[in-house]
Structure 1
């Protein structure tokens, strides 16, 4: 069967083809899903034409006949209204006794409302962002202009640009605008031990920074007080956020970790395991690669081509999005435009990753609160 949506000019557009059912004169076609927009463009009374064919191996399928219906008719489900005579107009014109070439009966019809990312946000689902910044020595001495962490008084370095571009968009989805900000790969005062999970503001008990401006401030302060070292370990910061995500089991919160790094991962096996474990949690990971390094490992973690696995266990879903910062440096020097493109691509997969988790767990969006009415303004009632 071939389904067609009618257009305003009287033409028809194919919107669905069923599978071929062979070797039977009484075929039963499998149920299929189609969006209401594709089927009738949201117009419940728009004509839907259905053609029925007898399949031939060489492609010269024999036209059996056709019938018309509408979304409104189909939505009545299995009933006497949804038994259709399949008519071949040519045969009808030639043969006086011709009634039809058979009938098609609708067996079932169901409507599912597709919820969106914003339905959850409006209903109060919390998005919690955590920032993790790479403080390894491969970034270069922050006092030198060649360093990716160079503290230039006149312009932002690559880390600050990436942080600002992505952060200014993500903070709109974070209800309290308080971001935990972490660093990894540095030696910390006073005993100069290497840490792969330290608070940028120096407070392990309260690593929260006020807005992206607060994160930027804590980042600059850290550059002045820590020693860049190594190696580049991702697993500790991923596990840090995963611990929080694991404690939320009701769909009320979702966690996003933004990692900004200059390249090669030292703990690839542990990182893969951390991501595979986190793929069943309400969590996504964004990795922005800065600098000229090769980012092959990041592409592998991204999991777009091949589903990530660790010790024979596959990730439940793709939760990592990787983008190389250098692809967004605008040659004309228009930083505003290039940062807007970076933010768009970095956040492109988050809504789908979020929805895949919520759907798999059966979490529906909470009902949106009623619109805000300022105090002192009476509600207008029409009588």
Structure 2
């Protein structure tokens, strides 16, 4: 008898209906979904795409949740609007996952004043696991012109039939003044497209955009997923035209390209030889305390592990196993290394004294090199991370292909070069890199939390956003009495970040 526990996952599709006075159509909005952990902490599950704010909000993003019958699983969904690159709370619901298993569930959206400002609608379906992705490209011909002065401004909405009705799975961009538009290619999970069922019904609606809150239907067409093939031509019809005995066709939708491709997982990439390269940066600013004092975060004594060593051992013991050549680069920042003359504050110095070859063989040697360096670095400041990230980018540029880099940064306080660090992070977001920042000191780490772009993408001075989220910040002191949880919180985003990099890399070709 097979006694292996089979995981049950559900997909949540989220929409909302807001009261009129809660809508600001000049803003965009997104929904942010979190799960409460056993330690009573809220952790991000995922966030949706940005859409224009209006009374009826529909996101195409699916949120997958592993359902655990034997546990209480609380879910929090928050809607944020974005104004001048800042997030503002619109409304929120908190409920248990077990209460969301019906085909459709409505919950009151409550704002920060405790007032109901609308309803959140959650549709749920059992997840269908597949490694297939569908990639397709659509264009249209001879669309009806619904505008008086200029051609229509068309966009498409694509739906699949779900347990509780039609589920929006994709909305294209609007192409202005064009009756023969050609939209950019779309890639999505095959399970999201048709729930892995070729007989699932799909529907395409074509609209003429008039304003952020108003659109007019040009035509629609329904079909089975199995009919959605390259070269297929669908005829759009409009019920209002049929009533008036007008020409039945409102235009055509052509499937210009369509293919099913296998999507590699994190494990697939590791099996195919993806190497993990580990770089470590350690804070040597004066706020750590004099290393000879037993209250110092850098205090070295036989048989005693200081805070840096403890945190480094916990994370390094996992990550070092994925580094096939067992060569690790180790840097200090914010101190004055005595082996470099003239003596000056340095923000990316190699602790093995070889800046052109900062690699150390074996992880245990990394620990010993750090401990040996403590007595030869004058603690100073300020705390700057941009030079260290810049050094990491140099290492990436000289690394072989099929290498993904992880930069572990251990620091005791807030940074003094926030804007410069954001500039480097935006640049680094297009590279094969994840950054884990561990706070080991007593600061509140507010700026560090900002670098962790879970709720808000980082933007540089030119207005360029991070291509993807690459930073995870964890406060070591929060979890120091439960190192297993600390390990999980610090490393849990790395597989997804690596997969997002591979998607970004493939889409940029």
- Is the pair's TM-score, using the shorter chain for normalization, greater than 0.5? yes
Q: Does 1:210 align with 2:361?
A: yes
**SS in structure 1 at match of 2:413:** coil
Q: More deviation in 183-192 or 211-220?
A: 183-192
Q: Does 1:74 align with 2:228?
A: yes
Instruction: Give the equivalent residue in structure 2 for 1:298.
Output: 448
Q: Specify which of 179, 188, 201 is matched with residue 48 of structure 1.
A: 201
State the Cα deviation string for residues 248-270 of structure 1 (Å, max 9, x = none). Answer: 5x854343322211123344565
The Cα of 1:74 is off from its aligned counterpart by 1.3
Is the alpha carbon distance of 1:334 and 1:316 closer, same or farther for their aligned partners in structure 2, counting shifts above 3 Å? closer
Q: Specify which of 299, 302, 322 is matched with residue 150 of structure 1.
A: 299
Alpha-carbon distance in 2 for matches of 1:215, 1:162: 13
Alpha-carbon distance in 2 for matches of 1:153, 1:13: 62
Is the alpha carbon distance of 1:53 and 1:234 closer, same or farther for their aligned partners in structure 2, counting shifts above 3 Å? closer
Structure with higher Rg: it is 1
Instruction: Give the equivalent residue in structure 2 for 1:379.
Output: none
Q: Specify which of 248, 255, 259 is matched with residue 111 of structure 1.
A: 259
The Cα of 1:104 is off from its aligned counterpart by 5.9
The Cα of 1:163 is off from its aligned counterpart by 1.7
Instruction: Indicate if the aligned counterparts of 1:165 and 1:342 stay in contact, CA closer than 8 A.
Output: no
Name the structure with the higher helix share.
Answer: 1
Q: Does 1:234 align with 2:389?
A: no
The Cα of 1:147 is off from its aligned counterpart by 2.0
State the Cα deviation string for residues 138-167 of structure 1 (Å, max 9, x = none). Answer: 101234343222346666433223322332
State the Cα deviation string for residues 259-291 of structure 1 (Å, max 9, x = none). Answer: 211123344565455445545554443322221
**SS in structure 1 at match of 2:258:** coil
The Cα of 1:321 is off from its aligned counterpart by 1.0
Name the structure with the higher strand share.
Answer: 2
Instruction: Give the equivalent residue in structure 1 for 2:55.
Output: none
**1:154-303 mapped onto 2 (5 Å cutoff):** 156-189=305-338, 193-194=343-344, 196=346, 197-204=348-355, 206-247=357-398, 251-268=401-418, 270-279=420-429, 281-302=431-452
State the Cα deviation string for residues 92-128 of structure 1 (Å, max 9, x = none). Answer: xxxxxxxx88886544242363455555444334432
Instruction: Give the equivalent residue in structure 2 for 1:374.
Output: none
Instruction: Indicate if the aligned counterparts of 2:334 and 2:383 stay in contact, CA closer than 8 A.
Output: yes
Q: Specify which of 150, 171, 186 is matched with residue 33 of structure 1.
A: 186
Instruction: Indicate if the aligned counterparts of 1:139 and 1:262 stay in contact, CA closer than 8 A.
Output: yes
Is the alpha carbon distance of 1:73 and 1:271 closer, same or farther for their aligned partners in structure 2, counting shifts above 3 Å? closer
Instruction: Indicate if the aligned counterparts of 2:300 and 2:306 stay in contact, CA closer than 8 A.
Output: yes
Alpha-carbon distance in 2 for matches of 1:51, 1:252: 40
The Cα of 1:180 is off from its aligned counterpart by 0.9
**Larger relative contact order (Cα-Cα within 8 Å, sequence gap ≥ 6):** 1
Alpha-carbon distance in 1 for matches of 2:173, 2:425: 38
**SS in structure 2 at match of 1:213:** helix
Alpha-carbon distance in 2 for matches of 1:118, 1:31: 30
Instruction: Indicate if the aligned counterparts of 1:254 and 1:354 stay in contact, CA closer than 8 A.
Output: no
Instruction: Indicate if the aligned counterparts of 2:336 and 2:378 stay in contact, CA closer than 8 A.
Output: yes
Instruction: Give the equivalent residue in structure 2 for 1:135.
Output: 284
Q: More deviation in 131-140 or 353-362?
A: 353-362
Aligned residues: 344
Alpha-carbon distance in 2 for matches of 1:202, 1:22: 60
Is the alpha carbon distance of 1:361 and 1:170 closer, same or farther for their aligned partners in structure 2, counting shifts above 3 Å? farther
TM-score w.r.t. structure 2 length? 0.53
Instruction: Indicate if the aligned counterparts of 1:308 and 1:314 stay in contact, CA closer than 8 A.
Output: yes
**SS in structure 1 at match of 2:458:** coil
TM-score w.r.t. structure 1 length? 0.68
Alpha-carbon distance in 1 for matches of 2:294, 2:450: 31
Q: Specify which of 451, 455, 460 is matched with residue 309 of structure 1.
A: 460
Provide the aligned C-alpha RMSD in A: 4.6
**SS in structure 2 at match of 1:242:** helix
